[in-house]
Structure 1
Amino acid sequence: MKTRTVRRTRLVPHTVNGITEMVLDRYEVEVPVPPRDWDRTILNAVTAAAGLLVAVAVVWSTASIGDLLARVTVAPAAYAAAVAFDLAWILCMAVEWLARYDPARAEQPRNMGHGALAVAMVAVGAHGWLAGQEAIGIIGAVVSGIVKTLWTIVLRHHAKPLDDKTQQWVDKQRAEAGGELAMVAINRELTRARGMVAAEEQVLRTDPDADPRESGQDPDNGFGSPGPNSTGPMTVKDAVRTAKAAGITDPDKVLKYVHQVADANAKAETVNRYLRMGVAC
């Protein structure tokens, strides 16, 4: 059995002049070396070789299809478009790889990848046919087909399908996590919409053309108008935002409004900081 030397450390007591301290003691031990995992080594080598062949296929297809398209357009645009032919089925393979634990989700990118590959092979064959080299066109088209077939085999070897009950459990967990993620954006959208509604209401309440009975001095808030309307518990930042939306810019009045609807202990420097930051409505 093969072994290898490993350096380790441990704490040991060490005494000098009657004073003991715990110090590091470095020592070496021989540990067994596990046998090489040839299966994993071969799989990694095959995967790397398949990736190299993809690069070869892309270069060949791009050169052929680019030359074909260059007959009717400028070369830079032709070769840029030619990349899309192979890039389409390569991206489908990447998505299929991401869904390797879920056969149902991997089926669609696999089928789309086969379709994109067929289009690329036809384009390469057409280039050879138009150039009067039908045999070369067919052989060139087969190159992409061989690479795609090889990658399909490699992907199936990497894939680890789950049993039916485990797959159902994963689907439910994925749906629950997806719902939570969606609610983050939805809650943000609703908060923004409610803020816009509140700001619009405040603008209408402070409209100079409004009923004079509603625009007089309010002895309770001292804002010279009914002031912003509080629709529920608010943070200091929300209160400052609402006050600004209502046209209140005086720091003292904003602070008074914050004390009324948000935090009675809010400090003036906090409110002034939000005002300087220009809190968005």
Structure 2
Amino acid sequence: MAGATGYIGSAVAERLAEQGHEVVALVRPKAGETRAVPGAAEVRYGDLADPASLAGAAADVDVVVHATAPSGDEAVELAAIDALLAGGAKLVYTSGIWLLGAGTSDEDSAPDPIPLVRFRVAVERRVLGAGGVVVRPGIVYGRGGGIPALLVAKAAEHGRGRYVSAAGQEPAWPTVHVDDLADLYVAVVERGEPGAVFHAVGEEAVPLGAVAEAAAEAAGVTGGGVEAWPVGEASRDLGAAFAEALALRQTVSAARTRKELGWTPSRPGLVADLAGGSY
């Protein structure tokens, strides 16, 4: 499993191990370092930026779960995918809902990516063409991490809830709790059909005003209200591409995923988790 020490990957590795799967963690090599990874039966070393290092690391496994942070470089990503596919294992690739762009989408919708994730169109095509599986998580939250933690930090910094807004429009985020996401990966590893796309979305469209208000509550900020943060201003702090992503208004369905895999998200929603949960 690539990314077994990350926010998403660690939850997935833990759940796979709990369900009786033997997890082999792929981690970046560091001089003179050996380490254990929670949930992993074995640790192997390789770097997705060095495809030659992946051949041995991905050998003799039945499924490769790719859950690392993306480099954003299409050539690097494709080379890594080709190396991970070379051993013949089923590949489960972690993409994301930003590839779908603004508006309403489901698993059959054509990609309409924002610039930040445009590289993923070619990567998904390569994975699916080789019989791999694509998982597109919504905005991941829970366990005090993910992008919502940024909203908590910004609320604490500015004394009020804040959300990035383009043209005065309130964004909406498709979301998924990290533990529900981990459950889905187990189902995909065990039953996901080759060439399939699955959406990991628990709530289809959560208004960001409510999320920002809950983030302020999590930060211990009271009485400050909620304000829209213009995307141009946010770009100076967060970078233009990331600010654009945060300002998206999306509604994303996972109806087919739920039906085909019997996946039923059950954890608290994003607003509830911010207001009284892990943050």
- Normalising by structure 2, we get a TM-score of 0.20
Greater helix content = 1
Greater strand content = 2
- Normalising by structure 1, we get a TM-score of 0.20
More contact order relative to length (CA 8 Å, sep ≥ 6): 2
